[in-house]
Amino acid sequence: MKVEQAKQIASNAIEQLRRALEAGHSERLKGYLAAMARFRRYSWGNVILIASQKPNATHVAGFHAWHKLGRFVKKGGKGILILAPIIRKKAKNNGESEPDESSAAVGFGAAYVFDISQTDGQPLPEIGSVSGDPREYRERLATFIAEQGIALEYSVAL
């Protein structure tokens, strides 16, 4: 039932987008493109589902994922319905004594994610930005970062 509900939400959102574009209005398309930029790891269908149910969403994760990050979903928080792959392990035995285990997606099921605005708890860790003057450690830092294969960019605050 929930899978059909998710499909209906996506179909309605796509139909509204089509009508808006035919009428010469591109705001909805810009909104979906912005959502695609925020949720790069999600499929187009799930981006449509997220953006149509919570257009101002910025960071989404499942209930347990938020818990692992030290955050919890606020009481009464309404989840955002998406379609998640159902993964099953299948054992193959090619005449060997130990089975070769691999996994495959066997379908999709309804799942709920929550936006960070629907959670409380520890702040999310910030990655990729450091401020301050490294002074005498600059060369050492640059060498270490280059060895890690990370691009180092400098910006000067005015």
10-residue block means of pLDDT along the chain (158 residues)?
Answer: 88 93 91 91 93 94 94 94 88 56 84 96 77 78 85 67
The reported pLDDT for the residue numbered 146 is 86
Q: In the prediction, which pLDDT does 88 show? A: 86
Q: Is residue 95 included in any domain, yes or no?
A: yes
Provide the domain count of the chain.
1
Q: Which two tokens stand for residue 103?
A: 């996994």
Q: Over the range 106-127, which residues count as b (16 or more CB within 10 Å of their CB) and which as e? A: eebebbbbbbbebbeeeeeeee
What pLDDT, on the 0 to 100 scale, is given for residue 58?
94
Range of the domain at 44: 2-147
Judge whether 152 lies within some domain.
no
Q: Is 156 a member of any domain?
A: no
Element (H, E) at 120: strand 119-121
The kind and range of the H/E element at 112 are: strand 100-115
Stated pTM of the model: 0.69
Residue 15 located in a structural domain: yes
Burial 10-41 (b: 16+ CB within 10 A, else e): beebeeebeeeeeeeeeebeebbeebeeebee
* One-letter-per-residue 3-state SS of 37-90: HHCCCCCHHHHHHHHHHCCCCCCEECHHHHHHCCEEECCCCCCEEEEEEEEEEE
